[in-house]
Structure 1
């Protein structure tokens, strides 16, 4: 089981909007050096919605190549079409990903039985570990704990990223009596510390993009039940947890990484550069975390 700080890494782009593979490689090396415990390539934060299939798999392949087995690599392979999700998952496995992170289908709002059959079909079609991803604020679809419990019985469905952002949902999942090797990850940085102190195994994080070392150290402390240390570290990250979402993710994270000199300012429509009114707030957040 993967534990700790799992960065949902941005996909660096040139000002013209082309994928910047050199910057991506440098980011991956930085994360490994800073202690990031695993990397998600081409998740929501990686702008998966606007990458072509060829670009999507090329990014996964590049991350796998640069990581060189030093940390696990998860590939985002979700889609609102089950057949498309199966194909992306197959391609990610062929590219060398260690696991797939698969978001619930978006826009078409499947019922719980549809969610169950969707993930079951993918799990049966592709023999690789699958981490489900629930983020109703983006998808318009909420996978309920009872459905998670059903899917957790399938052998290669190994975990869930729960990003509803409510500790009540964290407690519901912990109370299900899921298999001991079923991983529970939060996808909400603002409640990550509390989630791990309650019993979650890690955080698939946006904040880790700009403060990887602190996020790793906070996760280690929280998973170990060291509330005092986790709280002390998290206090330096609180503004980032909030202000990296002043504009839709990953707009502020990409601005921050550009300000840190780690990427160029490319982002794809319909996303646009960060609102100028938010610049000082995000800059102050970086300084509070020691990232600037």
Structure 2
């Protein structure tokens, strides 16, 4: 990215710019498909993903076991080596359990942790802050905080983020708050790397100092989403905007069609011949009509890329 004369370029994002919230492949009978996970991870990295987030929302973390989460990290690390950063989702409603998962993720080979606010119990902000500090103190890994109040019921308030930014291992935020004002406030006041967690914000957030994105849609269009950032970094903002606009119908089909993004992404991956398999209950696979609609949106993006 071009910078003004005499100014230093911004620091490199801690986990890369283009991150995929990778699905967790399962076999037809619902078992963890480690071979499929390795093949999918290799495909995504080869197509431009600089980081992979495992066992997040898209990775069906609520329905995988602790042992499966660790096995997934080990398998993906083996597949991608040092070509991409691996960020492990370890968030649970239980602080002690989350700290244990964080240590397991470090031992399995993760490069960083993704921590969602404790859900269901809806703790107040001082308890949310204490939870994050305890987890960040439990390993030597850098931490990204995941602000997704629509799922957790609890916002990570901007003032809480401003305080947590002083912790040496809390380095990033995955932002699904839909609050660009708050995001810019925190970006301007801290060194936290802000990743868009909602694809329609990939370019807008990047343009105001964001670090990149963590994307479900990157499971099926990794190169296209990466090209948006590459064009912006090259100074071709018109091309960046055109590519961002071209992706919106697919973003809407995958993320705003009434189905969980995991279900839509797995339907597309299966249709495209990549490892995915079915989601685990209570999620159910997409039907043929839905899959055909998703494929139409995907093909439109491919033709406009």
With the shorter chain as reference, the TM-score category is: over 0.9
Q: Once the 2 structures are TM-superposed, how far is the Cα of residue 276 of structure 1 from its aligned partner?
A: 4.8
**In the alignment, which of 234, 237, 253 is matched to residue 244 of structure 2?**
234
Could you state the TM-score of these two structures normalised by the residue count of structure 1?
Answer: 0.94
Q: 1:89 maps to what in 2?
A: 102
Deviations 1:204-255 (A, max 9, x none): 0011100011111112334566421211211221112111122012000000
Q: 1:202 maps to what in 2?
A: 212
Q: 2:122 maps to what in 1?
A: 109
Q: Once the 2 structures are TM-superposed, how far is the Cα of residue 2 of structure 1 from its aligned partner?
A: 2.9
How far apart in 1 are the matches of 2:234 and 2:211? 10
Q: 2:269 maps to what in 1?
A: 257
Q: Once the 2 structures are TM-superposed, how far is the Cα of residue 19 of structure 1 from its aligned partner?
A: 1.1
How far apart in 2 are the matches of 1:134 and 1:248? 18
How far apart in 2 are the matches of 1:225 and 1:40? 28
Q: Are the aligned partners of 1:4 and 1:220 in contact in 2 as well (CA < 8 Å)?
A: no
Question: Does the alignment pair 1:20 with 2:33?
Answer: yes
Question: Does the alignment pair 1:190 with 2:203?
Answer: no
How far apart in 1 are the matches of 2:38 and 2:152? 30
Call closer, same or farther: CA 1:116–1:36 in 2, change over 3 Å: same
Question: Does the alignment pair 1:121 with 2:134?
Answer: yes
Deviations 1:101-126 (A, max 9, x none): 11111111111101110001111122
Q: Are the aligned partners of 1:200 and 1:223 in contact in 2 as well (CA < 8 Å)?
A: no
Q: Once the 2 structures are TM-superposed, how far is the Cα of residue 277 of structure 1 from its aligned partner?
A: 4.8
Q: 2:300 maps to what in 1?
A: 288
Could you state the TM-score of these two structures normalised by the residue count of structure 2?
Answer: 0.90
**What is the aligned-residue RMSD (CA, Å)?**
1.5
Deviations 1:55-98 (A, max 9, x none): 11111111111111111111111111110110000000000111
After superposition, where does 1:1-292 map in structure 2 within 5 Å?
Answer: 1-175=14-188, 177-179=189-191, 182-222=192-232, 226-245=236-255, 246=257, 247-290=259-302
Structure 1 residue runs of 5 or longer lacking an equivalent are none
Larger deviation, residues 185-194 vs 81-90? 185-194
Q: Once the 2 structures are TM-superposed, how far is the Cα of residue 174 of structure 1 from its aligned partner?
A: 2.6
Q: Are the aligned partners of 1:197 and 1:227 in contact in 2 as well (CA < 8 Å)?
A: no
Deviations 1:8-56 (A, max 9, x none): 0000111211111111111111112111111111111111110011111
How far apart in 2 are the matches of 1:236 and 1:200? 21
How far apart in 2 are the matches of 1:253 and 1:159? 25
Q: Are the aligned partners of 1:15 and 1:267 in contact in 2 as well (CA < 8 Å)?
A: no
Q: How many residues align?
A: 288
Deviations 1:111-147 (A, max 9, x none): 1101110001111122211111110111111101110
Structure 2 residue runs of 5 or longer lacking an equivalent are 1-13
